[in-house]
Structure 1
Amino acid sequence: MKIEKLTIYGFGKHQDRTIELGPELSVFYGSNEAGKTTIQQFIIQTLFGYPAKNQNLRRYEPKNGGKYGGQVLINDPVYGRVAIERIKGKAAGDVTLYFEDGTRGSDAELKAILRDYDRASFESVFSFSIHELQGLESMTEEELSRTLLASGTTGMDAVGKLESRLEKEMGDVFKKNGRNPQINQAVEELRALEAELKEHRSQMELYEPYLSRSREIDARLAGILEEEAAIDSEMKLVERWLQAAPLLEKCQALQAEAAVLKAAEMPLDGRRRMDRLVDRLSEVQSQLALLQRDPVPPTVAAIADTQQLERLLEEESGWHQLQSALRKGQEEAAKISAEQNRLLSLVGMELQEAMQADVSLNNEERLLSHIEEVDQEEEENRFRERKLGEEKAKLAETEKELKFFLAGEPSEQERTAAEEWMEAVPKLAEAKAASRASNRQDTRKLSLGLIAIGLFGALAGAVQGNYLLAAIALAAAGAGVWQLWSTKGGESLQPEYVRLLSTYEGREAEFEALIHKLDRWDRRLDELLEGLEAAKERVASLSKQPRKETAEGAYRQFLVRLGLHPETGRKTIVELFAKLREIHALHSANASLQRDLEKYQSEEREWLQKAESACGMHLSSDGLFTALRRELASRQEKYNQAVKQREKAEARQAELDALQALGEQIRQEQQVLLEEAGAENPEAFYALCSDEEQLEAVRKELAPIKAQLAAIGELPEIRGEEAPVHMEELGTKRSELKEERNSLLAEQAEKLQAAKNLLSSGEYEDKLQQYEEQKVELAELAKRWSVDKAITEAIRQTLGELKEKKLPAVIEAARAYFSTLTGNAYSALEMNPHGFFEAVREDGMRFHIAELSQATKEQAYLSLRLSLAVSMKDSHPFPIIMDDPFVHFDRRRLQHVINLITELQQHHQFIYFTCHESMRQAWPKAAVIDVAATERSVHS
């Protein structure tokens, strides 16, 4: 799977950008904060989903708003070219796949393309950065070996983390000599519970003495109850005597008062009845005197004809409704006319012309369809013109690049020198061979000089007695003689060979570089010329395509059929269409309203005719009912005055007659009361009533006192001064008994509670239950520790099988890569029996991985990563993404890793992110993308 193109709608600081990637190696270059990491995260998040907001990962949503997401165009060996689009939606984003055959896919198809890999698995194999490599320096040997093992085996890292977590959990559950682990604490708690159970068993022996003392207290409490009952009985007798003493005294006084008063037979409720009759008689006499003083007014007759006026006034609401409807209709007609004139001025048409336009819904739908077709046609024309402009810009860039390239064309002298060099290469070899033969003459001269120096040295050594010097000198002279004999018979060098050697000897590399330079220049020229021809062909093809105007013509013809001006713009035609429809609606509403107004005006004329007939005068619609009410009031006032005078005279006479009859009736009732009481006049009647009322009051006061004495019952014979003293003595004795009972009850409760706590409080059972529960919990913890132990053993066996089966093949390839990256300084990368990685130097010396330098550790890590990625090429053909991981490499090893990636890129796509100028030039054939200069519109 290779990534061909990135289309960024909006992601971090990048917005509306399109980036083309190379098929083998693409280098993203940019300074700090240029957006390299943003593009790297765009690739990973588009493939595997946006991180959730609760994750510690950045989502790169656009700061300036806009569409969030983009497309990654890939070429997969199984699925072909697929555009993977992910935009903002659900937590991980909404993903859509566009296949070459036009079909679409979603998450299920993307999961199949990614071979069921998630982001963590992808980053553990195919993506790494300088930050991962920098962490190697601070790792221990065990951590470093585990990291290298995980980098060389898929899934090993997750299994190793699980093993570490389980070992930590086992340590939290049990340690042999620990105190904090859960099993160790549970054992200590069991021991403490056993001690508490022994203490509770010793306290159970006090139960029987507590019960014996409780029975003694029960017997004494029964005696106290009997004594209290006797005291209460005697106290009640004394209290009854004290309660009845004032009642007896009051009863005797009231009986003496009742004996003095004499009783008489009085009418029932006599006083009140007499008072009422006296008051009524006095009131009647006052009213008679008042009426007799007032004269009676004369009688006046009048007749009023008001029926027709009253019927009209009863229908006043109908008149007002008619007037309101008429005014409202006139106002509405004025508004409709004004709105119609406003709309006609907006559309620039007369009413008759506007009414002729067909503004049906069917025509509106067809109009919108024509507008959409015209917009689409214009968009296609703009796209063709924009595409033509882009191709012309590319053609201009290609011509500019060709012109600039031709400025550096090699000179004729360089090409001549190259041609002469190609011809001189075989001859130069012959000249070198002849030169070696010619050099023998010079060697002969050197040999003669060496013999002379040797003889002179031997003579000097013999004279000075330095035999070592003499021996060395003789040896030099012998060497000169041997060399002179071996070069015997040499010939001189030809002039042509001398010329070739003087011209080319020692400059072979210079002329080979010249040959390579000319060859590269010629190939690049061919590429530029081919690109120029292709650009010209694309421009010519786009220029030949005619501009489409069929939809525009159909749109104009449709406007003419509608009765609209054909030059009307598409932006205003829809609004014009709506305004014409409003004009049609207003015209219909105005016609209906005029018919209603004519009806209201006819009803108004009928009302005026009725009112004039009733009043006998000319009236107008303004203030009609005011005039009617005024006329009615005038007629009713005259009639009411006459009626009131007649009614007042009749009522005066009837009232006099009624008062005289009432006075006589009251006097008769008063005489009946006096006869019943046996009194001569009202004053005597009132005196008898007072005596009767006083006697009745005494009887009422005496009755409840007798009732209370009867309720108290028989009283003891006690003198008045002895009762309080006896009552106080009984109260004191009762208080003493109460204090004794409370004391005994408190003691009994204490003893019973102690016995209850010993027997049935449940504390002993609770401790026993805790003891059993603690034993169960201890068993559960032991079971849990055993399960974790079994899992860790299974993990160790799995790791061992991975090391024995899968890892050797990866390490075998990593060994070659490691040797290449270190310049053959190390011949192998192996794992010792203890599970630690070792690097084997060329001389056989072994080094633990932690003993190596930071750069060498990184090269081992890189070797394993690349080896694992290469081994998974067929099952997981993903591109390899690197974020500047070579900053610690020296110049020589950096060149080694560049050569290795150049070799591997033939079968793998590499995407490299860097901020170093030198790395953008490391791979001459790579597609170099300047992140800061990547500006290109995206059309979705």
Structure 2
Amino acid sequence: MKLIELHIYGYGKFEDYVIKSLDQLQIFYGENEAGKSTIMSFIHSILFGFPAKQSAEIRYEPKNNPKYGGKIKAFFPDRGVAVIERVKGKAAGDVTVSLQDGTVGGEELLKDLLKRMDKSIFQAIFSFNVHGLQNIHGMKGEELGRYLFSAGTLGTDKLFNTEGLLLKEMEVRFKPSGKRPLLNEKLKELKDIQSSLKNAEQQNDQYSELMSMKEEVSNKISQLEDEIFVLEQSGTKLREYKRNEKLVLEAAALDRKIQVHNPSFFPEDGLKRLEKLDEQHKSIQARKLRIDEKKDQFLKDLERHKPNSDLLEMETEIQARIENLPLYDQLKQEKRLLESKLEEITEEIDQLNDKLHTDFNEGNIHEINTSIFIKEQADNVEQTEQRLVNKKLELESSFEEEKKALADLEARAEAAKEDLLAEAKRTVLVNNLDLLENKERIQAELQYVMDQIESAKIKEESEKARRRQQQKKDQTQLLLLGSIFLIVSLWGITNGSWFLAGIGIAGLVFLLAARLKSTEKMPMEDRALSRLLERERALKESLNSQPEGNAYMIKSLLAKDEEARLRHRELMIKIEQQHDRFEKVVQQFEAWEADEAQLKRKRSELLKQFGLTDLSGPIKVVDAYQLIEKQKQYFRERKRIKESLKSVTGSLSEMENSLKMLAERFLHNGKLAPVEAAGLLKRTLREAIDQKSRYRELTGKLDEMEEESLSLMKEEEVISQEKDRLLEQAGTEDEDGFRMKAENASLVKGWKARLEDINHQLLVSGITDEDRIMILTGIPLEEQIEENESKLVKRKRELSAKFDLLADVKHKMKVLEEGGIYSELLHKYKQLQHEFTEDAKEWAKFAIARDLLSKTIERYKDERMPRMLAKAESFLSILTDGSYVRIIPQISGSGFLIERNDHVLFEANELSQATAEQVYVSIRLALAADHHERYPFPIIIDDSFVNFDHNRTNRTIRLLREMSNNNQILIFTCHRHLLDYFAENEIVNLQEKSTNIV
């Protein structure tokens, strides 16, 4: 992923702020509060969402701008260029992602692009700042190594903090040698209670006997209470029997009377039902007479209101034509409007053709390409043209400024050159000053040379005497040896022994060479003496030629000349720099001319695509595109109007013909105007509809009367059948017998009602049928009540005695339990044992978590860390210029050993502060580089090298440049001296007020 462009709508202090063309290595410079942290937060927020309002992170909502958010253009290797836009909406903002292939999505698509990367993990791995170095400053001993290990694992100090937190939580609960932790205290208390419990067990035998007696007495008390409860319930029931005894006797008497006087079956409410049927029969006969009279009157009215059936059959069509009459006027008006619009739009088309000097028609206008792509090209040409105009003005201004500055510098250089001393004069002054300052040195050197000459002469004389003696000695030896070698050679030649002859000749040659070498040494000593004599003569000449003058004055002149020369050199350097700037402006002019030529070609090609090659005057490409697009709209509009006019004309003709046909058929006049014919048809149709409605109403009423008459006949028949069924059910032949039987049934009904009331009262009192039989036939209730009371009194006396015995047992047990002996101690021991177990489980959670963390660390050290450390070692070697070459994980736990190039190992706390910072930076950069293959995200660095000296900073920037070949690196700083390490196009100056930075 590479960030290409940032566009801030509103975020913190930035409003409508654009940063374009971000490089692989980009530095953002700004003084304090210039907005560096805002830009970093903006990148994080657009990619991962705005911080929540309850979050500790700053949301950077703009104060004076309602727009909150912005967009980022970025390149993804597998998806191409994507535009990620996030604006204010839900908690994290509303995000829209647009890909190069036209795909548009939201939060899910963004998560896919970011490979499900979490914001906290991204900040931990790919974003680090000076706070990580500040944490190093405050750490000592083993903490520093653990912190570096945590930074290399997660990118943050979370692992370091988590390990410390788990250890702290464990030590709060338990320490092997501690006394104050919770588990230590409870363990001591458990031991004390266990000792007391053993002492209390000795008294447990007597206590067990009392416990058994207490349980036995308690069971007997429960048994007596159950018996008393049963006796009390039985007494209550017997008293209830006594209270309801009279009702039971009355119910038995009523039951006997009902069985004696109960008649055969008689219908329920039979007499009322018979009287009601007689009344209904009389009412039906009266209604039948009234209906017959009405039927005669309705038949006469039907004959008078018979409707026109032909006209009513055409009702739907006539109604439709009448209802469409307003549409007829509307269509006529619409026709006039369409004809007027057709003339206007034809005139507009002709005017646009005149403006464009073309003859576009419906056939060739659609051949012109006015797609969005062409429009975008036209907009680009227009924008480029405006940009080139602005660029030209800027370049002309820059050209004049640079030219004026160059002329000013050259004039100043010429003026400074006039203040310089001539080279010959300056040389003389320098030599004179040198001679004046070195006179004593020359005298001392002359004395030394003279002493050397004297010594050399003495040495030469003694050497000559020694050589003469040596020469004599050598000559004697040479003559002797020469004679020997000569004799040997002559002997070999004479006797034919060429080997001996060769040895003799070789010896003679060797002696001759030695003689010549000894004579060559003599001139070398003569040459050394000659050089000393030559140096003596030169020194004497120097002393004789010492100039007259003041050394202080010469120094003053030379110092003044040196200042003038320094000013002149500075001006010449500035002139060279100004020449370079001037040349850059000239090169920019040339680039501008090339862009302008390319723009003219694009403009000509677009106009040619628009069919506008023969324009008499200049025209903007965008204007031409808009005019052609407008002309297309006019042609489309004219075509639409023609089709609408044709449709309206057809509708008008169809309406007029249909109204004419209807008028001829029903009004017998086909010459009426459409509006007049419609009015007459409407009135005629309304009359026919009224007649039809009246006819239908009369027919309906007549049918209703017929139905009502049939219904009455059926009701009359049903009533007769119902009366016969009642008499048959009662077993009588006439109504008089039926009425006598009804009186007897009324008496039995009253007895049954009383019996039912008594049964209900007995049921409420809980008296069942078995209870009734017992009351009527069993032992007298008075005797049963007395016997039950006697048993109840006896059981209550027994219960009281058992309660006294239980109180005595409890008192004895209480005496044994005083002081909290066995049972209390046992309860306390079990409770404390349970609490200890629960607290131990809590301690075990943290112990297991710490163990899992340790195993995870070991696994990371074995599997993933070697690859990361290899990169970190390479980076550390670069940063320390080869002084430190290896980073070795500790054998157990977390932490590192650092190996120097002489194979000496250091723990992290033994390093200097600056070297520890370099180790931290190496590990963080290696962590980001190690994740690059899976997560190719940019690395964001915030002032993490401010404590480095010049050399370390230089090596760090060199390393970042190498890494930028793979990762995009964004550096945020407030230190101006870091800008010297970057090119101008790599710097984004946040101090600039422009809303667009390219």
Whether the aligned pair in 1 keeps the contact of 2:225 and 2:799 (CA below 8 Å) is no
Cα gap change, 1:17/1:155 in structure 2, threshold over 3 Å: closer, same or farther?
Answer: closer
Among 862, 865, 869, the alignment partner of 2:921 is: 865
Whether the aligned pair in 2 keeps the contact of 1:97 and 1:110 (CA below 8 Å) is no
Q: Tell me, in whole angstroms, the C-alpha distance in 2 between the residues paired with 1:365 and 1:210.
A: 115
SS of the residue 1:312 aligns to: coil
Cα gap change, 1:806/1:580 in structure 2, threshold over 3 Å: closer, same or farther?
Answer: closer
Q: 2:332 matched to which residue of 1?
A: 337
Structure 1 residue 404, shift from structure 2 partner: 0.8
Whether the aligned pair in 2 keeps the contact of 1:71 and 1:83 (CA below 8 Å) is yes
Whether the aligned pair in 2 keeps the contact of 1:51 and 1:92 (CA below 8 Å) is no
Q: 1:164 matched to which residue of 2?
A: 164
Q: 1:531 matched to which residue of 2?
A: 588
Task: Please identify, of 874-883 and 385-394, the stretch whose mean Cα deviation from structure 2 is larger.
Answer: 874-883
Cα gap change, 1:224/1:376 in structure 2, threshold over 3 Å: closer, same or farther?
Answer: closer
Structure 1 residue 871, shift from structure 2 partner: 11
Structure 1 residue 397, shift from structure 2 partner: 1.7
Q: 1:357 matched to which residue of 2?
A: none
Q: 2:211 matched to which residue of 1?
A: 206
Whether the aligned pair in 1 keeps the contact of 2:369 and 2:610 (CA below 8 Å) is no
After TM superposition, list the pairs within 5 Å mapping 1:140-539 onto structure 2: 147=147, 157=157, 159-171=159-171, 174-176=174-176, 177=178, 206-207=211-212, 210-211=215-216, 214=219, 309-312=304-307, 324-348=319-343, 373=370, 376-409=373-406, 410-412=409-411, 414=413, 424=423, 432=430, 435-440=433-438, 490-492=543-545, 501=558, 504-505=561-562, 509-539=566-596
Q: Tell me, in whole angstroms, the C-alpha distance in 1 between the residues paired with 2:190 and 2:669.
A: 109
Q: Deviations over 1:71-125 (max 9, x none)?
A: 2469xxxx799756433499996767879xx999999999999999986677557
Q: 1:548 matched to which residue of 2?
A: 606
1:792 aligns with 2:854: yes
Q: Deviations over 1:17-56 (max 9, x none)?
A: 24345676x553456665433333455667x654675976
Q: 2:7 matched to which residue of 1?
A: 8
Structure 1 residue 904, shift from structure 2 partner: 6.0
Structure 1 residue 537, shift from structure 2 partner: 2.4
SS of the residue 2:175 aligns to: coil
Whether the aligned pair in 1 keeps the contact of 2:311 and 2:688 (CA below 8 Å) is yes
Cα gap change, 1:933/1:503 in structure 2, threshold over 3 Å: closer, same or farther?
Answer: closer
Structure-1-length-normalised TM-score: 0.54
Whether the aligned pair in 1 keeps the contact of 2:442 and 2:543 (CA below 8 Å) is no
SS of the residue 1:86 aligns to: strand
Among 965, 970, 988, the alignment partner of 1:929 is: 988
Q: Tell me, in whole angstroms, the C-alpha distance in 2 between the residues paired with 1:624 and 1:592.
A: 27
Q: Deviations over 1:590-648 (max 9, x none)?
A: 4444454345435533899xxxxxxxxxx98387459979999xxxxxxxxxxxxxxxx
Q: 1:87 matched to which residue of 2?
A: 85
Q: Deviations over 1:412-451 (max 9, x none)?
A: 56258679989959x9688646532222459999xxxxxx
Cα gap change, 1:712/1:769 in structure 2, threshold over 3 Å: closer, same or farther?
Answer: closer
Whether the aligned pair in 2 keeps the contact of 1:175 and 1:184 (CA below 8 Å) is no
Cα gap change, 1:55/1:582 in structure 2, threshold over 3 Å: closer, same or farther?
Answer: farther
Structure 1 unaligned residues grouped into runs of 5+: 252-271, 284-300, 352-363, 446-485, 556-564, 609-618, 633-672, 678-688, 718-725, 756-763, 820-828, 841-845
Task: Please identify, of 383-392 and 216-225, the stretch whose mean Cα deviation from structure 2 is larger.
Answer: 216-225
Cα gap change, 1:138/1:917 in structure 2, threshold over 3 Å: closer, same or farther?
Answer: same
SS of the residue 1:373 aligns to: coil
Structure 1 residue 387, shift from structure 2 partner: 0.9
Q: Deviations over 1:740-796 (max 9, x none)?
A: 7689899999999x99xxxxxxxx99x999989986995796587267347438748
After TM superposition, list the pairs within 5 Å mapping 1:731-770 onto structure 2: none
Q: 1:621 matched to which residue of 2?
A: 684
After TM superposition, list the pairs within 5 Å mapping 1:715-726 onto structure 2: none
Structure 1 residue 539, shift from structure 2 partner: 1.9
Q: Deviations over 1:313-346 (max 9, x none)?
A: 7999768656634421323333333444444444
Whether the aligned pair in 2 keeps the contact of 1:148 and 1:864 (CA below 8 Å) is yes
Structure 1 residue 408, shift from structure 2 partner: 1.9
Task: Please identify, of 139-148 and 169-178, the stretch whose mean Cα deviation from structure 2 is larger.
Answer: 139-148
Cα gap change, 1:773/1:400 in structure 2, threshold over 3 Å: closer, same or farther?
Answer: same
Structure 1 residue 206, shift from structure 2 partner: 3.5
Aligned-residue CA RMSD in angstroms? 7.8
Q: Deviations over 1:706-756 (max 9, x none)?
A: 999xx9999999xxxxxxxx988976775675677689899999999x99x
Structure 1 residue 211, shift from structure 2 partner: 4.5
After TM superposition, list the pairs within 5 Å mapping 1:490-889 onto structure 2: 490-492=543-545, 501=558, 504-505=561-562, 509-545=566-602, 546=604, 548-550=606-608, 552-553=610-611, 569-570=631-632, 574=636, 577-602=639-664, 604-605=666-667, 621=684, 624=687, 782=844, 785=847, 788-789=850-851, 791-792=853-854, 795=857, 814-815=879-880, 861=917, 864-865=920-921, 869=925, 881-883=940-942
SS of the residue 2:543 aligns to: coil
Cα gap change, 1:245/1:30 in structure 2, threshold over 3 Å: closer, same or farther?
Answer: closer
Cα gap change, 1:237/1:631 in structure 2, threshold over 3 Å: closer, same or farther?
Answer: closer
Cα gap change, 1:189/1:386 in structure 2, threshold over 3 Å: closer, same or farther?
Answer: farther
SS of the residue 1:403 aligns to: helix
Q: 2:469 matched to which residue of 1?
A: none
Whether the aligned pair in 1 keeps the contact of 2:4 and 2:74 (CA below 8 Å) is yes
SS of the residue 1:490 aligns to: helix
Cα gap change, 1:542/1:420 in structure 2, threshold over 3 Å: closer, same or farther?
Answer: farther
Alignment-mate amino acid for residue 17 of structure 1 = V
Cα gap change, 1:19/1:734 in structure 2, threshold over 3 Å: closer, same or farther?
Answer: same
What fraction of aligned residue pairs are identical, expressed as a percent? 17
Cα gap change, 1:86/1:194 in structure 2, threshold over 3 Å: closer, same or farther?
Answer: farther
Structure-2-length-normalised TM-score: 0.51
Structure 1 residue 173, shift from structure 2 partner: 5.8
Cα gap change, 1:167/1:898 in structure 2, threshold over 3 Å: closer, same or farther?
Answer: closer
Whether the aligned pair in 1 keeps the contact of 2:155 and 2:927 (CA below 8 Å) is no
* Residues paired across the two proteins, number: 729
Task: Please identify, of 203-212 and 334-343, the stretch whose mean Cα deviation from structure 2 is larger.
Answer: 203-212
Q: Tell me, in whole angstroms, the C-alpha distance in 1 between the residues paired with 2:804 and 2:366.
A: 100
